[in-house]
Structure 1
Amino acid sequence: MVKLWLRICTVLLAVLLSGCTERHLSLHREPDITWESLRGQWLFINYWAEWCKPCIEELPALSAFDRQQASARVLGVNYDAVPAAQLDKLKQQFAIEFSLLLHDPAAELAYNRPTVLPATVVFDVEGRYIDTLYGPQTGKSLQQVMLD
Structure 2
Amino acid sequence: MAAPQSLAASGNPGAAAGAGLWLAGTLALQLAQPSQPVALPAWQGVALDARSVHLPALQGQPVVINLWASWCPPCRREMPVLRQARTAHAQVRFLWINQGEAPETVLRYAAAQQLPAADVLLDQDGQLGRLLGQRALPTTLFFNAAGELVALRSGELSAATLAQHLELLQ
- TM bin, normalised by shorter chain, reads 0.5 to 0.7
The reply to whether residue 75 of structure 1 matches residue 95 of structure 2 is yes
**1-structure distance, mates of 2:129, 2:108:** 27
Point out the more displaced range, 47-56 or 136-145.
136-145
- Equivalent pairs, count: 124
- In structure 1, the residue matched to 2:103 is 84
Which of 115, 125, 128 aligns to 1:106? It is: 128
* Post-superposition offset of 1:62: 0.7
> Partner letter of residue 124 of structure 1?
N
- In structure 1, the residue matched to 2:58 is 38
- Structure 2, unmatched stretches of 5+, are 1-41
**2-structure distance, mates of 1:107, 1:91:** 19
Contact 1:60–1:96 at 8 Å: present in 2 too? no
TM normalised by structure 1 equals 0.68
* Post-superposition offset of 1:66: 1.3
- In structure 1, the residue matched to 2:166 is 146
**2-structure distance, mates of 1:37, 1:139:** 28
* Post-superposition offset of 1:34: 3.6
Contact 2:69–2:101 at 8 Å: present in 1 too? no
* Post-superposition offset of 1:36: 4.7
* Post-superposition offset of 1:85: 1.7
Contact 1:48–1:118 at 8 Å: present in 2 too? yes
**1-structure distance, mates of 2:44, 2:135:** 24
- Structure 1, unmatched stretches of 5+, are 1-21
* Post-superposition offset of 1:58: 0.6
Structure 1 residues 142 and 96: alpha-carbon distance in aligned structure 2, compared to 1, 3 A threshold: same
**1-structure distance, mates of 2:137, 2:129:** 18
What are the superposed Cα offsets for residues 40-87 of structure 1, whole Å, 9 maximum, x if unpaired?
3221111122222111111011111112212211111222x2222221
**2-structure distance, mates of 1:50, 1:126:** 31
Q: Which has the larger radius of gyration?
A: 2
TM normalised by structure 2 equals 0.60
Question: Among the aligned pairs, what percent are the same residue?
Answer: 23
State the Cα RMSD in Å: 2.6
Contact 1:42–1:124 at 8 Å: present in 2 too? yes
Which of 123, 129, 139 aligns to 2:143? It is: 123
Structure 1 residues 96 and 33: alpha-carbon distance in aligned structure 2, compared to 1, 3 A threshold: same
